[in-house]
């Protein structure tokens, strides 16, 4: 959003901007009446027997004040800030006090599925939150609305169904648009299947690459894997349970039996890591069908062995290529492609051969 458009939004909504600022005088957040509105459809009640924490005024749990913060830190949430809040990937105890405080105090929460997030917030004792759906199918129209709310002084939290928003979800586009508009974006760190699976895999973590979900169509998926064949870094992938076997079969066919850990049910009671190789994981899941989304941590390609420099053999091959009518330069280039040796070294060998 260009600065001129941002100013136009501010000028067009002076009352909203003023009320947003006044509700956080000197950074002290006050719960507004909008937070008592939950987007339709209404959130169903939690499962039978689920206990909710005791709540204080405006639905804020007594254990999480909307303005309490660590010493030396500014109070949160702040007006006009987009907060990326990591939510539990399985264990509700993984929600940090800071994340709970921000979710309790923002003006609205943008989420993939309002029913799913509504249930999660109820279980966390954060009732009465104003929820706005934000997903891949409505992001084009929703991003300008959320930017307008931020410019008007609202504090907005973005959450995903599980984990950190912005990874394999449309949060990436919202963050980019907010940054382009000159708005503040703050991440509240939290659970992530990517890093949780990686650091517990036993595979190298110093350098890694994240590929997310590969293509669903077999031909496209195999091409993606072929493109990764020479990647030396540890590779992290996401996959759904109904496509896991097909992915493992393609890994075995395209990349071979590399080191692999398949993490499932992370942070839950039945957390499991299956490996230690592609073939072992494939045999396991053929016997035991997978349940729940999986995170795969795959070993990178082994360093290529340096080609052996057999000078007499190389001299002979170069001589045969020149005898067939190739120039010295073309003969060196062609042999470099087939042998793996540097073209300049082979060209120099030809000149030494001529000198001899």
Q: Are residues 140 and 207 in the same domain?
A: no
Q: Are residues 272 and 315 in the same domain?
A: no
73: confidence class by pLDDT, cuts 50, 70, 90: confident
Cα atoms in the Cβ-side hemisphere of radius 13 Å centred on 69: 17
pTM of the complete model beyond 0.85: no
Question: Does some domain include residue 230?
Answer: yes
Cβ–Cβ under 8 Å, residues 345 and 310: no
Question: Does some domain include residue 206?
Answer: yes
Q: Are residues 238 and 351 in the same domain?
A: no
Q: What are the Cα distances from residue 130, in Å, to 15, 85, 105, 139, 197?
A: 20, 15, 11, 18, 32
Question: Does some domain include residue 303?
Answer: no
Q: Are residues 143 and 219 in the same domain?
A: no
Q: Is 301 exposed, middle or buried (0-12, 13-18, 19+ CB in 10 A)?
A: middle
Any idea what the CATH number is for the domain that residue 157 is in? Answer: 3.40.1010.10
Q: Are residues 59 and 156 in the same domain?
A: yes
Any idea what the CATH number is for the domain that residue 224 is in? Answer: 3.30.950.10
Q: Are residues 132 and 248 in the same domain?
A: no
pLDDT in tens, 129-174: 899 999 999 999 999 999 999 999 999 999 999 999 998 888 999 9
Proportion of the chain above pLDDT 90, given as a percent = 61
Mean pLDDT along residues 267-287? 96
Q: Are residues 100 and 175 in the same domain?
A: yes
CB atoms within 10 A of CB 319: 13
Question: Does some domain include residue 305?
Answer: no
Distance, in Å, from the CA atom of 68 to the CA atom of 61, rounded to the nearest integer, reads 12
Q: Which is nearest to 158 in space by CA: 146, 168, 141, 145?
A: 146
Q: Are residues 175 and 69 in the same domain?
A: yes
Residue 14 pLDDT exceeds 50: no
Q: Are residues 124 and 207 in the same domain?
A: no
Q: Are residues 101 and 173 in the same domain?
A: yes
Q: Of 190, 213, 231, which residue sits at a domain end?
A: 190
For residue 347, give its domain range: 311-355
Q: How many domains does the chain have?
A: 3
């Amino acid at each position: 959003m260009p600065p001129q458009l941002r100013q136009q939004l501010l000028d067009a909504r002076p009352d909203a901007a003023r009320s947003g600022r006044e509700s956080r005088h000197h950074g002290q957040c006050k719960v507004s009446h909008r937070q008592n509105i939950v987007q339709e459809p209404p959130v169903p009640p939690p499962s039978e027997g689920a206990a909710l924490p005791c709540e204080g005024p405006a639905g804020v749990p007594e254990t999480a004040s909307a303005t309490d913060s660590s010493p030396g830190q500014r109070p949160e949430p702040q007006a006009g800030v987009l907060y990326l809040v990591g939510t539990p990937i399985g264990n509700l105890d993984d929600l940090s006090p800071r994340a709970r405080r921000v979710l309790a105090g923002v003006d609205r929460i943008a989420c993939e599925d309002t029913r799913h997030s509504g249930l999660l917030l109820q279980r966390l004792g954060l009732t009465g939150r104003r929820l706005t759906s934000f997903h891949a199918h409505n992001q084009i129209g929703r991003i300008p609305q959320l930017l307008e709310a931020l410019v008007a002084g609202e504090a907005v939290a973005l959450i995903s169904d599980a984990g950190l928003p912005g990874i394999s979800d449309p949060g990436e586009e919202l963050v980019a648009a907010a940054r382009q508009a000159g708005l503040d974006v703050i991440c509240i760190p939290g659970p992530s299947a990517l890093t949780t699976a990686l650091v517990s895999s036993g595979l190298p973590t110093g350098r890694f690459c994240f590929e997310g979900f590969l293509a669903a169509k077999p031909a496209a998926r195999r091409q993606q894997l072929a493109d990764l064949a020479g990647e030396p870094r540890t590779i992290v992938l996401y996959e759904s349970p109904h496509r896991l076997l097909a992915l493992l079969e393609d890994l075995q066919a395209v990349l071979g039996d590399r080191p692999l850990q398949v993490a499932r049910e992370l942070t839950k009671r039945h957390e499991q890591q299956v490996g230690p190789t592609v073939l072992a994981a494939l045999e396991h899941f053929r016997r035991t069908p997978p349940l729940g989304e999986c995170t795969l941590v795959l070993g990178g390609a082994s360093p290529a062995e340096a080609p052996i420099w057999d000078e007499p053999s190389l001299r002979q091959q170069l001589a045969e290529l020149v005898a067939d009518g190739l120039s010295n330069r073309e003969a060196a280039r062609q042999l470099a492609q087939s042998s793996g040796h540097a073209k300049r070294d082979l060209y120099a060998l030809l000149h030494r051969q001529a000198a001899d």
